Amino acid sequence: MSIQPVMNTYSRLSVAFDHGEGCWLFDTDGNKYLDALSGIAVCGLGHAHPAVTTAISEQASQLIHTSNLYTIPNQELLAERLTKISGMDNVFFGNSGAEANEAAIKLARRYGHAKGIDKPTTIVMEGSFHGRTMATLSATGNRSAQAGFEPLVSGFVRAPYNDVAAVKNIIANNADVVAILVEPIQGEGGVIIPADDYLNQLRELCDANDMLLMLDEVQTGNGRTGSYFAYQQNNILPDVVTTAKGLGNGVPIGACLARGKATEVLVPGTHGSTYGGNPLCCAAALAVVDTITNEKLDQRAGKLGDMIADGFRAQLGDASYVKEIRNKGLMIAIELSEAGTELAVLSKVKGVLLNVTGGGKVVRMLPPLVMSDTEAELLVNTVSRIIKVYMADE
Ligand SMILES: *Cc1c(COP(=O)(O)O)cnc(C)c1O
């Protein structure tokens, strides 16, 4: 077989889309699909949203890029918006979730060195996902993703997710710990929702031990879980929070927000990015942030997600092959008792886009925040039916 010019790093479904509108994608043969994945939690405003399209078009006709050697007004505007929404103090912009987390990891190391700790260590969780660069891969709690890439970056120590006692134990035995990096909900890990007060307890531990609480909201941020950032439902503030995915609605941008003692750790010469926060991506993100806040799409996500999960419970809740149906806003999972990897393919054939994670047992949906009630009903009915037929229940 001949070598394909695109390197073979993904297992892709055999469909290509050529346009989209709202929650719908259209393939090159003219078939339409209800998009319940949003390009993996990216297109929260759906496809071809007029506010984003206009912002990108207008900015592209003016100026796309200048570099961070110069002042970028759009970057300053976006940083103002994000700090106001989040309660954080300042922002570093990169181009992806992994880069946002790289910034956080580097920040924690410098924070440690400033305290006289030679080998600053960050606590990370089992089952976590933080990206594919060497440092973020090393922080990621998935052995199969790391296999073959050793030697990994040192300076991480791992605790089970949603286990405060384990974190306490590590802190008690390791004087080098300077930070905790954790997802408020594990997305790639299979939509794992921790105890309601998990983040509050980690906040207390960080306060008591002068450590940075660093939240990876690359997936949970930008309205997806029912508030702009997931931590806002815990009434706490992190020291560092990273986000990306939903921030640009598909235009690549990532952000690392810092607060208080974390704000002046990265200074000129310590970190940077050529494209990071350029005029074009910041114009897109400004349109996204303003649309989410003006239209209260985060609140909409909270209500709609509960409605969809209740719908699935009504149709599948009693099925023997369904272990659990759970959601936080529009992060929705149907956990099966056996593997259902083929469900992503079957759903595509039936005109719905979703994906299967968590070792093949978790059917995951991350619909656009702009999904209508009617589309949500269609989603529930179609996916319930597909799962029932697949599991040979009817
Ligand atoms: C997707 C994701 C990342 C990585 O983002 P990229 O933009 O792919 O680099 C990091 N953390 C979490 C929680 C994610 O879901």
* Interval 142-189: pLDDT, tens: 999 999 999 999 999 999 999 999 999 999 999 999 999 999 999 999
- Is residue 1 one of the residues assigned to a domain? no
- Is residue 255 one of the residues assigned to a domain? yes
pTM above 0.95, yes or no: yes
- Exactly one of 129, 156, 229, 312 is catalytic; name it: 129
Residue 142: what residue type?
N
pLDDT over threshold 70, residue 393: no
Residues 266 and 378 in one domain: no
Residues 127 and 105 in one domain: yes
* Interval 63-87: pLDDT, tens: 999 999 999 999 999 999 999 999 9
- Is residue 143 one of the residues assigned to a domain? yes
Probe residue for ligand 1, chosen from 188, 240, 256, 331 as the CB with the greatest number of ligand atoms within 8 Å? 188
Residues 38 and 69 in one domain: no
- Is residue 370 one of the residues assigned to a domain? yes
Distance in angstroms (rounded) separating the CA atoms of residues 75 and 95: 13
Residues 215 and 267 in one domain: yes
Q: Please say which residue of 231, 259, 294 terminates a domain.
A: 294
Which of 164, 165, 137, 163 minimizes the C-alpha distance to 150? 137
Domain with residue 236: its CATH number is 3.40.640.10
pLDDT given for residue 2 in this prediction: 87
Domain with residue 42: its CATH number is 3.90.1150.10
- Is residue 349 one of the residues assigned to a domain? yes
- Is residue 167 one of the residues assigned to a domain? yes
Residues 172 and 278 in one domain: yes
Residue 298: active-site member: no
Ligand 1 shell residues, CB under 6 Å: 96-98, 101, 129-131, 183, 187-188, 216, 218-219, 244-245
Residues 251 and 383 in one domain: no
Distance in angstroms (rounded) separating the CA atoms of residues 213 and 204: 9
- Is residue 7 one of the residues assigned to a domain? no
Which of 85, 58, 365, 350 minimizes the C-alpha distance to 223? 85
- Is residue 6 one of the residues assigned to a domain? no
Residue 216: active-site member: yes
Question: What number is the average pLDDT over the span 90-97?
Answer: 98
Q: Please say which residue of 245, 261, 294 terminates a domain.
A: 294
Residues 166 and 310 in one domain: no
Residues 99 and 231 in one domain: yes
Q: What DSSP element (H or E) covers 326?
A: strand 322-328
Percent pLDDT > 70 in the chain is 99
Residues 185 and 320 in one domain: no
Say how many Å lie between the CA of residue 233 and the centre of ligand 1.
21
pLDDT given for residue 358 in this prediction: 82
Q: What DSSP element (H or E) covers 94?
A: strand 90-94
Residues 372 and 262 in one domain: no
Probe residue for ligand 1, chosen from 124, 134, 191, 218 as the CB with the greatest number of ligand atoms within 8 Å? 218
Residues 90 and 202 in one domain: yes
* Interval 342-357: pLDDT, tens: 999 999 999 999 999 8
pLDDT over threshold 80, residue 225: yes
- Mean pLDDT rounded to a whole number for the chain: 97
> In this structure, what DSSP letter does residue 125 have?
E
Residue 361: active-site member: no
> Number of folded domains in the chain?
2
- Exactly one of 35, 216, 239, 298 is catalytic; name it: 216
Q: By residue range, what is the domain housing residue 125?
A: 63-294
CA dihedral of residues 96, 101, 106, 107 (deg, nearest 10): 110
Q: What angle do CA 78, 218, 323 make, to 5 degrees?
A: 145
* Interval 296-335: pLDDT, tens: 999 999 999 999 999 999 999 999 999 999 999 999 999 9
Say how many Å lie between the CA of residue 188 and the centre of ligand 1.
9
pLDDT over threshold 80, residue 394: no
Distance in angstroms (rounded) separating the CA atoms of residues 82 and 284: 14
Residues 72 and 175 in one domain: yes
Q: Please say which residue of 241, 261, 294 terminates a domain.
A: 294
